[in-house]
Chain A
């Protein structure tokens, strides 16, 4: 597989959210505003790239039997780095994402890529794979959070386009709206995929 294909694989063909359905908790939980979606997506992408690089460098030294434990340790370290960085430089975003930042450790997507890709491939390809998957995840989160913010809050990335007294569909920023938006967008993606024959 060429490097370019490795990169685009995560964005479209094996999109983590709409095709592989990995790491769904943040997809539902923090997609209430566009900013949250982008922030969470980029934080996860950073962890993915970093952990993929480290794991592919160390792959020959990790004994097969304890590899999951080793992977988790590496991922947890990367997540702690992101957590401390975000606490220092983007305190507001850190507050609104809350517990979902440390929970990147248990995002199946990160461990899944370590297991399925980084432990078999070179450093460069693994970094690209992490970046592609991370961007695919960010795009999906941004899409869902923009839809929810428009319908539920009447704004895009914090800019209101409706007068303050207009009625909004509050349901969409509450839990049921998260499930509904994800489910219906998923159905739309399935339909598009069938049409395009991918």
Chain B
């Protein structure tokens, strides 16, 4: 498959958050400020790109030859957990303010459905190694895009007034709905 096609599909047509609903927790949780959203997006992109490379190798050279594909979920989640641990150490050492801002959501990348799902989807679509990594990186960019858009809108919403009952999650979800509607306009862009 054409790489450009994979990239466009992963970033805008099948945006991981706005049309596939993966990684919603962080989408609702860390989108209070644009700078935090960018940091989170970068961390997740790194984890899924690396994760896909490693899970691809495990799938082709260990799980399939020994016919133990039913262990897929368990092995993949371990790879993700291991990578998240590495990212956490790196961020803590080199960017303490970002580490503070991300808080609980950094270790929670392990249980961010996006990371495991992208690895499973790449196996389902039977991508090659390069395709799989390209797919993962593009998905990460799409994830960051959705997070940053949401954070930007939420920063503006703080200035505007809205009904009390809508405060917090309900408002965020309605904004998400409008963003998803906008992204639906891209469907059919790539055949």
Choice from A21, A73, A178 contacting B21 with Cβ under 8 Å: A178
Tally A residues with Cβ within 8 Å of B. Answer: 43
Closest residue on chain B to residue A194 by CB atoms: B165
Would you call B172 and A83 a contact (CB within 8 A)? no
**Binary interface profile of A, 151-162, with partner B (CB < 8 Å = 1, else 0)?**
000000000000
**Binary interface profile of B, 151-170, with partner A (CB < 8 Å = 1, else 0)?**
00000000000000110011
Does B178 reach chain A (CB closer than 8 Å)? Answer: yes
Tally B residues with Cβ within 8 Å of A. Answer: 44
Does B59 reach chain A (CB closer than 8 Å)? Answer: no
**Binary interface profile of A, 55-83, with partner B (CB < 8 Å = 1, else 0)?**
00000000000001100110011011001
Measured between beta carbons, the chain A residues less than 8 angstroms from B78 are 69, 72-73
Does B95 reach chain A (CB closer than 8 Å)? Answer: no
Would you call B117 and A190 a contact (CB within 8 A)? no
Does B173 reach chain A (CB closer than 8 Å)? Answer: yes
Measured between beta carbons, the chain B residues less than 8 angstroms from A191 are 165
Would you call A73 and B74 a contact (CB within 8 A)? yes
Would you call A69 and B81 a contact (CB within 8 A)? yes
Measured between beta carbons, the chain A residues less than 8 angstroms from B74 are 73, 76-77, 80
**Complex formed: what's the CA distance from A83 to B23 in Å?**
21
Q: What are 19 residue pairs bridging A and B, where the CB atoms are less than 8 Å apart in the complex?
A: A21-B169, A25-B21, A27-B24, A29-B22, A76-B73, A80-B70, A80-B73, A99-B117, A102-B120, A103-B117, A105-B116, A106-B111, A107-B111, A171-B181, A176-B177, A176-B180, A179-B177, A179-B180, A183-B173
Seen from chain B, the residues whose Cβ lies within 8 Å of a Cβ on chain A are 18-25, 28, 70-74, 77-78, 81, 107-108, 110-113, 115-117, 120-121, 124, 165-166, 169-174, 176-178, 180-181, 183-184
